Amino acid sequence: MAITFEQVNFSYGAGTTLANPILHDINITIADHQVTAIIGQTGSGKSTLIQHLNGLLKPTTGQVIVDDLIVTNTTKEKQLTKLRAKVGMVFQFPENQLFANTVLEDVMYGPLNFGYKTDEAKQSAQSALKMVNVAENLWQKSPFELSGGQMRRVAMAGALASNPDIVVMDEPAAGLDPKGQAELLALVSNLKEAGKLVVFISHQMDHVVSVADQVIVMQDGHVAAQGTPADVFNRDIDWFKSVNLDLPRAGQFAEQLRANGVSLSRRPLTLAELATMINEEYEHE
């Protein structure tokens, strides 16, 4: 169930005089059963990239391969149905993906669309709503009466209800309070445990470090780096400035310590790792 981008270029309005080239020469592989985080400054092409994962956008040139399905510029809408059953997608602005009269109906839409019977769809929707902690007293409300964070959870339930093998989330932590963010990270870990491939976009480097196996860094529509969090977050500090990204908190502390003369062999990913490293330094003295 891996995902591969081969030589993908994408322009909004391709073939028109308003063609706006956004993605350039994207060659990436996203491994199965892993969590991949996509990071990069605003406007770097993250949302554009992930909308290729369920065929909402098709490459202008090149191809995207999801498991055994190949999407190119000429792939027809009908051929995308199989892909959409494989990939659950939570968009950056979840209010744009909600539409039904009630929360429950909204979440049932996916399963019904993929051929579940009404009872099965209802059961799947209810368990998805429980999985993302949407309280039962909200299930019969209009999704548009909810807060931003609640809407995001409902959109997430909608993506999960038909049990897709791949879950793609565009800034899923946006609008969630700290408890909601912790629950989201736990959900991502649970999805991975359940054998799913998870891709998420984040501006919070500590979230990336806590759940991602792989990181893809976007800059100006190019892939600027790809690797494990340890690889990516140990890059040169000037490189981080060049892609306008922050380090995780522990990395920021480590840089401050370095600036004050403390020598550290590597840049820690977490505060616990930083504490261990400092202890080791003192033991050697």
Ligand X SMILES: Nc1ncnc2c1ncn2[C@@H]1O[C@H](COP(=O)(O)OP(=O)(O)OP(=O)(O)O)[C@@H](O)[C@H]1O
From residue 89 to residue 128, the character string flagging contacts with Mg ion as x (rule: CB under 5 A) and all else as - is ---x------------------------------------
Among the residue ranges 27-35, 45-53, 131-139, 203-211, the one whose residues contact Mg ion (CB under 5 A): 45-53
Identify the residue whose tokens are 């020469």.
25
Residue 222 or 249 with smaller CB distance to ligand X = 222
Q: Which residue is nearest to Mg ion (CB)?
A: 47
Residue 18 or 259 with smaller CB distance to ligand X = 18
Residue 276 beta carbon to ligand X: minimum distance, rounded to whole angstroms:
33
Distance CA 218, CA 244 (A): 10
Give yes or no for a contact between 48 and 22, defined as CB atoms under 8 angstroms apart.
Answer: yes
Write out the two tokens for 29. 């592989």
- The binder of 22, among Mg ion, ligand X, none, by C-beta within 5 to 8 A per type, is ligand X
- The binder of 43, among Mg ion, ligand X, none, by C-beta within 5 to 8 A per type, is ligand X
Closest of 230, 132, 252, 233 to residue 185, by C-alpha: 132
CA distances, 180 to each of 33, 39, 172 (Å): 24, 20, 10
Residue 47 or 214 with smaller CB distance to Mg ion = 47
Binding residues for ligand X, rule: CB under 6 A, are: 12, 20, 22, 40, 42-48, 92
Residue 17 beta carbon to ligand X: minimum distance, rounded to whole angstroms:
14
Q: What b/e sequence results for 131-168 when a residue is b if at least 16 CB atoms lie within 10 Å of its CB, and e otherwise?
A: bbebeeebbebebeebeebbbbbbbbbbbbbbbbbbbb
Residue 86 beta carbon to Mg ion: minimum distance, rounded to whole angstroms:
22
Catalytic residues: 171
Residue 123 beta carbon to ligand X: minimum distance, rounded to whole angstroms:
34
Rg of the chain in Å (alpha carbons)? 20
Residue 47 touches Mg ion, criterion: CB under 5 A = yes
Closest of 147, 170, 6 to residue 72, by C-alpha: 6
Q: Which residues bind Mg ion (CB under 5 A)?
A: 47, 92
